[in-house]
Amino acid sequence: MTARTFSRTILYVVLAIFGVIFLIPVYLLIITSLKSNSAVSLQQMWALPHPFGFSGIAQAWHQVAPDMMNSVYLATSATIVVTIIGSINGYALSKWKFRGANIIYFLILLGMFIPYQSTLIPLIRVLNTLNLFNTIPGLALVHIVYGIPMMTLIFRNFFADIPNELLESAQIDGNGYWGIFRNIMLPLSIPGFVVAAIWEFTQVWNDFLFGVTVTDPPLQPVTVAIVNIAGSQHIQWNVLMSSTLIASLPTLIVYLVLGRYFVRGLLAGSVKG
């Protein structure tokens, strides 16, 4: 065995060990979801369910299904809107330099460093004034506003790698500001859109703070519903684990479907500093 083969074998063994450690919580989540509530105990925590049952999953779905749809509407709408706004901002700030562009870019990015907790009271007052408090559109608006800085950063860095010669050629062909954006920038920025969409969808889907403060039942997202199940006086652990498993599936599906495009977008430099 050569030194290179030996070092590679050691690397794979170490990675396999870390992979197993990382998957232990997933294993416990799945097997607990498939047990009856009476079979859940610390003594039997590692044991496979016997027999397999789906009563916990069915009960969890019954409890979180309405909130699940709230999260679907929320994450989908916020992701679509904020990626479009971020792409327009990134296009303007990367390819159409104007006086004060760097200052505007700095002010936009400044929003990334403002703690969410410090804005909750004025945020609620603004939403209440706009009659958007305790509504899905109001919660979506919050995520759109807070998502603009990151989306602008992603698209600005992605568009900066596109040669200016393409824009000059498009201008010679008669394309204006929006023509270049529609015909040149958008087709070339699909990997950037995938990176931005996965990032924003995951952030919105996993949010708890805004969901619990801006909305009340039955308009709260699924993350709040899971915490409500965990905070009840009598916790059915199989139902709690099942609801967590159900809530994690959409983001998992997004990564599985768009994962290769996500990696391609990262390699294209869309999130470089």
Condensed to tens digits (0 to 9), the pLDDT of residues 72-112 reads 999 999 999 999 999 999 999 888 878 888 899 899 988 88
* 260 within domain boundaries: yes
* 185 within domain boundaries: yes
* 55 within domain boundaries: no
pLDDT at 44: 80
CATH number of the domain to which 74 belongs: 1.10.3720.10
Range of the domain at 246: 64-267
The domain tally of the chain equals: 1
Instruction: Report the distance separating Cα 85 and Cα 32, nearest Å.
Output: 42
* 192 within domain boundaries: yes
Q: If you search the block for the tokens 């790698």, which residue do you land on? A: 161
DSSP letter, residue 171? H
Q: List all residues 6 or more positions away from 92 whose beta carbon is below 8 Å from its beta carbon.
A: 101
DSSP letter, residue 48? P
- For 156, half-sphere exposure in the C-beta direction (CA atoms, 13 angstrom radius) is 21
Examine the pLDDT at 33 and tell me if it is beyond 80: yes
Does the predicted TM-score (pTM) go above 0.95? no
pLDDT at 272: 45
* 9 within domain boundaries: no
Which helix (H) or strand (E) covers residue 94, if one does? helix 55-95
* 139 within domain boundaries: yes
Question: 230: helix, coil or strand?
Answer: helix
